[in-house]
A and B are shown apart, each in its own frame.
Chain A
Amino acid sequence: MKYLVYILIITLVVSCSSPEKRTLDEQNSFCYWKTTFTFDSLDNNVWKQTTANHMYIRYFDVGWDNTSKQAKPISTVANKDSLPCKHITPAIFFSNNVFEQSTNQQLDTLVTRIKSRIEQTNEQFAIQDFANKYSEILIDCDWSKGTKDKFFYFIEKLKEAIPNKEITTTLRLWQYKNPTMAGIPPVKRVLLMCYNLQAANEYDIENSIITLNEIKKYVNEVSYPLKTDIALPLFSWGVIFRNKEFKGVIRNATCENYSNNKQYTSIEENRFRLNEEMIIGDFFARPGDEIRVEALSPKELQELTKYLLSEIKTDKYSRITFFAWDTNNIPTDEIKNIYTSSAR
């Protein structure tokens, strides 16, 4: 009888501490954020070189439809190619407006619909066997002070509806720094998005995506109560100014586009001035317009990672992930080094 009691106690103890659903070979991660999942041989080669073993895949977005007065899905990912790794995490982005507008009843319905749509999407990827390649689901939303209650309610309901998967959420830096105001989501783990720290339309900043100085303001000496994964930027853009006034953004711009090009004069390391009129996308650029290229060099990326790992509470299951997958932007050696050096 004594032994039975011991067994019962042990069972209770074991069952009360929920085990980590994540394995130890899915910490090297990328975010795949395109609307069609396509992974050709080039992608595969780059993938192998980085030693990545996990991918967040944006399954779909959810926005608020003013006409039907309900939340609706947007741009569900379409299938085209095979998956390079055995671990994925479906990611669903919600606009904050969904939680501003939805009633709790609508959120209850939304939970059911989200679960259903994830399963539908998995069916599209039956060949790749998505359904069996994830243990968690990432909910991405920049909730505000005003929507945190509804968002957290939604998360709780989603957890109840999908008990066999761990629900994780993204966390913006302001939420990390101000947990009292922002609230702490009812999850065990968050993905801290370490980029877009400042408004790109400000002329007087160095790099709106991220700088070490800026991230320190959010992260320095802050202790966040949840386990944390880290998302780092791997994208670039050029911000156009005219007379210091914001005019637009050029995606995927790099300094190489403008250096040694007689159409531009370099005025600083990452700033270029146009010498001629030209059409850039839908924008008519004039001589004197400036382009501020914002990106992180591989060296800066490493310094940033090192700093973040020294400040943020991580564990052996924590991931480093890069936003977002695009073979044009991936410094494979540096990524591999970061993964290696961040292994815990």
Chain B
Amino acid sequence: MKSKTFILVLLVNFVMAQSSLKACGYWEFEWEYRPMTFQAQLPWMQSMNPFVYTTASLFYNMNPDPMGKDRTRNISEWQKATSKDINLDDIYAIQYETDPDTFINSFENSGLKEYQNNSLIKYLTHDKKHKDILDYLVFAKKVEYTEYDFANLNFEEWQDEINKTPNNSLILKHELLAEAKERLKTAKLLFLKERYAFQVVRLSWQVGEYKEASEVFDTYFKAINPNSLMSVWAGLFKAMSLDRLDRKADANLFYIQVFENSDEKKLRSVQLYNYNIPTPPTFSDKEKSIEIVLKSIQNPGRALDSIQSIHRLDKNSKYLTFMVMREINKLEDWLISSVYLKSEKNPFSNAYQYSWDNDDEETSQIKKKNLETDIQYLQRLKAFVIVLRNGTQQQEEKDYYAIALAHLSLLEENREDAKKYLATISTNANPSILLQKSIENIWLSINTDDITTDNFKRNYVSQIKKLKTQLLTTPYKFKNENDQSYENYRIFYTLDLALANEYKKRGDIISYCLLKNISNKDRNPDGSFWYTSEPASDYYGVMRQMDFNASVSDMDALIALLQKTNKTEFEEYICDQPFNPIDAYRDLKGTIAFRNRDLQTAYGAFASMDQNFWATTYYFKDYLNEDPFIPKNLYSQESRDFTYKFNKTDFLKTLLDLEKTAKGNDAKKSADAYLKLGHAFFNTTYWGNSWMMVSYSWSGSDKYYSNTQLLDSWRRAYMTASIAQEYYEKALEKSQNREQKAYATLMLSRTHWHNIVLNGSEKDKKLAAKYSNKFYNNYLNTQFAKQNECLGYEAFIN
């Protein structure tokens, strides 16, 4: 027995990644499929990566130094302190890629014999003069051994991995702190003094000796020195210690300085900053401006006022470019998300019983007002960026602001301005800006060129391919990341989506559908779940767009395209996606025709297919397995026969023949034919046994799509069985005997009753009552009624 509820999961295309945070049922969702194309960044801006605008969470990511700048500084200091002949990669390998446990074991057991091919180790071990630096390296590895793996801060440790537990690390840390203090006293090289001092400050903080941490910092560093990485790193622990000592204002000053001078510690500074204390009057203008930066990079709303404050306080603030980028990304989200990401929900959902009509006058006014507000904000931002551009002397910043202005111009559909600003960008501009320029040019082309011409199509493909090559190989590959930046794929998906929407406006539905699929594929670059989250629905997933949007002639165009051997480059591009066998599209064509009551076309489409198709593909044999000419609701569940060999071609042929007979002169045969047509058109509705003639899915909750007046005609007929009712009424009209009348009357009663279930329609209540009364008052003594009455009731109940 088949389950009553057959659900093909046809989720909306904006697949949400869910993470279950706690055990019993709190879900939180990540929403980060907004369209976005602006991602130009000046090189230094990589360090601001955690603060890139996102709607998914407070921070874009928790990787604070994707280019490893702090590490680069550290290993450079090591090279400077040792020898310029030492390979920087070798220093990096020891510092950041060598397990501390392994290193210490090697040191203790074999004098680091395993590392003798490493130029740093060779240098440190071959001459006793370098022992003090070697000693520090070993010491640092011992400290590292006691550290948490902060990349997995979420996880704790099991008791049997006890050496990693915090309590045991604490004992070791005390020991190491004592050792670090001793070594600090005797260290001679400034390089070593700074490093031991840093270790003392950090270890003191870690064991809770905050006053000590602060005092050691003051003694050995005095202040944060931008040229001394150790003073910056130690400065963070000084700040954290001051926090614990309740000297919040002092702590904030250090957080600001650390933020300004370290890439790796920026995120931590932002996280730890005390936002609820007033800005100390002792802060310089620059420090005040950075404080505003810290606050503004966490603001998901309009931050232009704050950015202007930053500018007033520090006209040369480098953060201005980054803040402009954030505001542009916000405007992209506010202005184009809802346009580009029009819901791909099942069109049936328009009729959902609890649906609130968001297109009422008030809502339209609100949307209009929001758009006006956003455009006004964009114009304010644009005016400010012009000020910034005019005020900077750095060509790099001028170019950056120029590309920002071009993008803002395109957002407000001012194509002339966009062209103007793009033309001002120097050919020697930063590669990121030149890349962004390519993106702008593509977007401009989509909006200004005739997209139906071969010339446009050729250029588009060429530009997109070039862009893909550039984006996937250049500067966005972060040092510590193995995966390509997701943002790069977001650019492709946005551009393809923009073009798809333009094709839809021009009535080229197939290009629209195929580009939508391409765009969805871009959105999930690993290839999984790009059309549905249910693998079993792959068959439907690749055709969903066509099912929602295509007409019969569109399907003809698609079939021709798929069968074309010498495709153009553009056609190859939009066909670069998975397809079903060609018969699937013929079947869809036939289905579309059937929905539109074009039986001849439907017949032709089905007849052109492999007639075994429905026995072997998708779920057709599971859900087209009953006689479509025996109405489902007339028989009880137990008496239904699921062994029927359903063939769509034969079915359509029979319908066509029945139509002919129905229009013939033999009234009795006509009535019988109309009855059978009624049965067929009832069974191919939501309520019938052959709904898969019309729809690719069925769910018990579909009956909540009850505002049927909001549906287009075939969907309305599918839910209300209106076509079946037409035929039953004709059957009743033509009926020549009481048997025929009984049958037609009962079926009319039943079909109207279904609509009562659907939406409590008053009209259907009256009609159901009318036909029901007629049946029970007049036809109970018919053969039909005697054969079917009890079963009819059971079926009715079921």
Contact = CB atoms under 8 A, between A and B. Distances in A.
A201 B26 CA distance: 13
Contacts of A279: 299-301
Given A65-B152, A72-B157, A283-B300, A244 B358 contact: yes
Contact of A287 (B23, B26, B156, B369): B369
Contact of B159 (A68, A120, A202, A286): A120
Interface of B: 5, 12, 14, 16, 20, 22-29, 31, 55, 57-58, 149, 151-152, 154-160, 298-302, 330, 334, 337-338, 341, 343, 345, 349, 352, 354-356, 358, 363, 366-367, 369-370, 373, 700-701, 704
A58 interface: yes
Top 5 closest pairs, chain A to chain B, by CB: A93-B23, A204-B352, A288-B366, A72-B155, A284-B301
8 contacts: A33-B23, A68-B152, A72-B155, A196-B25, A246-B16, A282-B57, A284-B301, A290-B356
A101 B668 CA distance: 68
Contacts of B302: 277, 284
A55 interface: no
Interface string A317-339: 00000011000000000000000
B25 A233 contact: yes
Interface in A54-72: 58, 60-61, 63, 65, 67-68, 72
A245 B341 contact: yes
Contacts of A286: 334, 370
Interface in A166-213: 170, 193, 195-196, 200-202, 204-206
A193 B25 contact: yes
A242 B24 CA distance: 27
A337 to B, nearest CB: 23
Contacts of B334: 286
Contact of B155 (A65, A142, A246): A65
A116 B28 contact: no
Contacts of A196: 25, 27
A306 interface: no
A113 B159 CA distance: 7
B370 A116 contact: no
Interface residues of A, number: 63
Contacts of B355: 204
Q: For chain B, what secondary structure do more than half of its interface residues adopt (helix, strand, loop), or is it mixed? A: loop
A40 B524 CA distance: 48
B158 A72 contact: yes
A72 to B, nearest CB: 4
A93 B25 CA distance: 11
A73 interface: yes
Nearest to A287: B366
Contact of B301 (A76, A193, A267, A277): A277
Interface string A98-132: 00000000000000110011001000000000000
A113 B349 CA distance: 48
A33 B156 contact: no
A93 B24 CA distance: 8
A201 B338 contact: no
Contact of B31 (A75, A93, A248, A251): A248
Nearest to B160: A113
B31 A247 contact: yes
Contacts of A95: 20
Nearest to A209: B25
A196 B18 CA distance: 13
A271 interface: yes
Nearest to B159: A116
A267 B356 contact: yes
A67 to B, nearest CB: 5
A243 interface: yes
Contacts of A287: 366, 369-370
B156 A76 contact: yes
Most buried by A among B23, B58, B369, B700: B23
B411 to A, nearest CB: 17
B338 A140 contact: no
B24 A140 contact: yes
Contact of A73 (B55, B156, B352): B156
